[in-house]
Amino acid sequence: MRSEFLRDADLAVCCDCDTLFVADPRPYFARDVVAAAVVDRPNPPIDVWDVLLRRAGLMRRRPDIAVGSSAAMTLFENRNGGLYVLPGARLAEFDRPWRRWAMWLEGQMDILGNYVVHIDQIAFALTCLELRVEPDLLPKGLNFPTHLPAADAGDSAPIMLHYHRRVNDRGMLEPTGQRTIDTAIAFVNDSLARPAAIRRKRRLLLHVGLPKTGTSALQRWCHANAGRLLEQGIRYPTPSADTEMPKHQFVVSDLMTGDLSRTGRAVAEGSEEGTVLTSEGLTNHLYDFRPIGLERLRSLFEPFHLTVFLVHRKPEDWVRSYHKQCAINPRNAAYYYGTGLDLHLFRELPRVRKLMNISDLTLDCAAAFGASEVVTTAYESDWPGRFFALCGYVPPEKVDMEIANESVPEWVLDAVLRINRLPFTDKARTAWLGTLQRFTNSRHAGLRKHEAVSNAGDLWRELDPHLIDRIATPDERWSGYRALLDELSRR
């Protein structure tokens, strides 16, 4: 009654330990309704109830009803304790009075006598009267007694068998003499006789970033070592074909469109014990995804034990690095990519502040992806070791992940921001950013891509050397930049 898990559930079904379900009972339970079957016998009899009600200061709210397996009457609220159906939201309401009435009944031994064994059941009825709850009446099939004579128990299709001590030395349920009931008992005995088959869910590790926390290094390592991972029962599905890093960016695209077919093919690539999917876009765009896409993703991931792995950095270090990344990215106003915003303005953007709130981000990832758990790890710690432990990989030797996307120095960022503030076309902006890569030979994937696009598309012609003073500053770090610009613009 005090379980937080059950209190959060739509319904809590409380059963005796001597019960066995023949079929799924959920279709027979109504939401938001307290329900139970009537008792099989008049335990306690009506005259005992009369005394108990008088002592408790309670009155009947409904006429007495017939018991389930004999020609007798009982209190309307007197229900069989083998199965109670309670809305999770009402457990707290029932908890205290139910306990209180049970303790009160321990002081009524003079009237209860041998019926003391039914204290919890009697206390439930008193609680319903106090709370003015009129429980729905479940059919006998949802709490069918196999310990009573066949003539009394009847012969109906059982959904749950309440067998009390009616088992043989091998723990099998004993027949009752009623054909329908015995057919059900034979069915469950056959199931009990079979060896238990434990069906473990396959593990799915979803690495979601954050951006600028070594994601590119991890993705490149996983792709390069996919064979080694597979040897230990871990699949790294085929990554996206249209991204520079070998990551699963299609998960992000699928969540944007609501069509999860590509992600579905990825998780169906193999039947290994573990699967790893990774894209920092899963946090970067967490608040951009379509609700229908997230709903379908949760359904797709339901057969797996899903763990979300999130790496975070010290806030100041992270926002500086993320600011540089967003400034260098191709323009996208919705995500504030390619803007000239200074750091102090950038960090106040709502989407940036959300990504810096790790506690909320953790909860939102769990809800969005339907994760069994979300593991957060600091970038400054041994996060690769934590990753290996979560996916179940034991490295045969020390693993050094090579940095694949190194932040540019501040003076280069200043030039990027100056370029972004000028009214360049997308092609001209790409060319100017490409010159920064050619000049600095940085290890930043975004700048390298601008240079590659400029080479492939012959964008250097978009450069106007007369604007160099708007981009570069008159100090020795820019020595040789003008000559490079003149050379490229003449191509």
What's the CATH number where 241 sits? 3.40.50.300
In a domain, 378, yes or no: yes
Peptide bond into 87 cis (omega under 30): no
Secondary structure of residue 312 in the 3-state scheme: strand
CA 138/CA 34 separation, integer angstroms: 10
Task: Judge if 440 and 332 occupy the same domain.
Answer: no
In a domain, 403, yes or no: no
Task: Judge if 317 and 440 occupy the same domain.
Answer: no
In a domain, 435, yes or no: yes
Task: Judge if 380 and 238 occupy the same domain.
Answer: yes
Compute, in degrees rounded to 10, the torsion defined by CA atoms 361, 364, 365, 367: 160
In a domain, 35, yes or no: yes
CA 43/CA 82 separation, integer angstroms: 14
Task: Judge if 333 and 474 occupy the same domain.
Answer: no
pLDDT (average), residues 109-127? 96
- Decide which of 138, 159, 193 is a domain's last residue: 193
In a domain, 267, yes or no: yes
In a domain, 68, yes or no: yes
Task: Judge if 293 and 167 occupy the same domain.
Answer: no
Closest C-alpha to 178, from 156, 198, 160, 193: 156
- Decide which of 159, 193, 227 is a domain's last residue: 193
Range with the lowest mean pLDDT among 135-139, 257-261, 401-405? Answer: 401-405
In a domain, 356, yes or no: yes
CA 150/CA 180 separation, integer angstroms: 11
CA 117/CA 164 separation, integer angstroms: 14
pLDDT (average), residues 16-36? 93
Task: Report the 10 Å Cβ neighbour count for 398.
Answer: 5
In a domain, 179, yes or no: yes
Task: Judge if 437 and 387 occupy the same domain.
Answer: no
pTM of the model: 0.63
pLDDT in tens, 394-426: 999 999 888 877 889 999 999 999 999 999 999
Task: Judge if 44 and 150 occupy the same domain.
Answer: yes
- Decide which of 325, 358, 391 is a domain's last residue: 391
pLDDT (average), residues 9-16? 93
Task: Judge if 163 and 49 occupy the same domain.
Answer: yes
Closest C-alpha to 92, from 121, 137, 125, 127: 127
Task: Judge if 114 and 237 occupy the same domain.
Answer: no
pLDDT band at 158, cuts 50/70/90?
very high
2 has pLDDT over 90: no
Task: Judge if 123 and 45 occupy the same domain.
Answer: yes
% of the chain beyond a pLDDT of 70: 100
Task: Judge if 217 and 361 occupy the same domain.
Answer: yes
Cα-based distances in Å from 162 to 146, 174, 186, 387, 450: 6, 12, 15, 47, 72
Task: Judge if 483 and 353 occupy the same domain.
Answer: no
199 has pLDDT over 80: no
pLDDT in tens, 451-489: 999 999 999 999 999 999 999 999 999 999 999 999 999
Overall number of domains in the chain: 3
Its domain, for residue 166, covers 4-193
